[in-house]
């Protein structure tokens, strides 16, 4: 099974390098020590012998070249696997970085929403309320205080008017009292004079 996988991988590498290998094979020196896998296969093919048996063509490959080619293929596979591991590690690192960035973005978004909410809110009695609610409460309190002020002014003016009326009534009452006391005094004096006149007349008559 492992050998089959290696063979499939070698075929895949061979297919990937085929188009480039076909262009450069003529210019490059074929060798098992350098060049692409395709060139190395071409080298083994050119160095192999052939013969026919029973109408079929066979290629005879030197074991040394085949072992070398096999080792080169394994090295290429190992290098590809190492590159794949490195790429997977890089991808994992990028995924971790993306996760951290998404987390920071979420925290930043939450902070921004919190700041926006605080900006659009006001503190009232230790509670955060929206500006509209705060303005409604504030203007309701102002309207209530204004109504109380108007009521106080109305009652004050009414009390002041009643006080003025009471003072006026008191002044009139005092005036009437003084007039009454003066008339009573005059009447008393007149009666006293009349009494004195009667007493004097009585004395003269004796």
pLDDT tens digits along 159-195? 889 998 988 889 888 898 888 888 888 888 888 888 8
Structure confidence at residue 151 (pLDDT)? 94
Structure confidence at residue 63 (pLDDT)? 77
In angstroms, the CA 5 to CA 16 distance is 16
pLDDT tens digits along 10-64? 455 555 444 444 444 444 577 777 778 888 888 887 877 777 777 787 777 777 8
Structure confidence at residue 146 (pLDDT)? 94
pLDDT of residue 97 exceeding 70, the answer is yes
pLDDT band at 82 (very low <50, low <70, confident <90, very high): very high
Model pTM? 0.38
pLDDT tens digits along 171-180? 888 898 888 8
56 phi/psi in degrees, rounded to 5: -115, 145
Counting Cβ atoms within 10 Å, is residue 137 exposed (0-12), middle (13-18) or buried (19+)? middle
Report the pLDDT averaged over residues 77-94: 91
């Amino acid at each position: 099974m492992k050998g089959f996988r290696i063979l499939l991988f070698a075929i895949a590498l061979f297919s990937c390098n085929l188009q480039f290998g076909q262009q450069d094979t003529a210019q490059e020196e074929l060798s098992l020590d350098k060049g692409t896998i395709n060139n190395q296969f071409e080298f083994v093919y050119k160095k192999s012998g052939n013969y026919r048996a029973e109408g079929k063509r066979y290629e005879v490959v030197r074991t040394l070249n085949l072992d070398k080619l096999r080792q080169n293929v394994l090295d290429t596979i190992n290098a590809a696997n190492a590159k794949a591991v490195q790429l997977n590690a890089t991808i994992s690192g990028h995924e971790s970085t993306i996760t951290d960035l998404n987390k920071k973005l979420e925290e930043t978004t939450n902070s921004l929403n919190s700041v926006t909410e605080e900006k659009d809110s006001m503190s009232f009695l230790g509670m955060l309320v929206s500006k509209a609610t705060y303005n409604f409460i504030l203007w309701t309190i102002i309207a209530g205080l204004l109504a109380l002020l108007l009521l106080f002014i109305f009652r004050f003016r009414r009390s002041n008017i009643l006080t003025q009326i009471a003072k006026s009534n008191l002044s009139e009452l005092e005036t009437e009292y003084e007039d009454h006391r003066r008339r009573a005094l005059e009447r008393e004096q007149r009666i006293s004079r009349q009494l004195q006149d009667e007493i004097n007349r009585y004395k003269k008559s004796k």
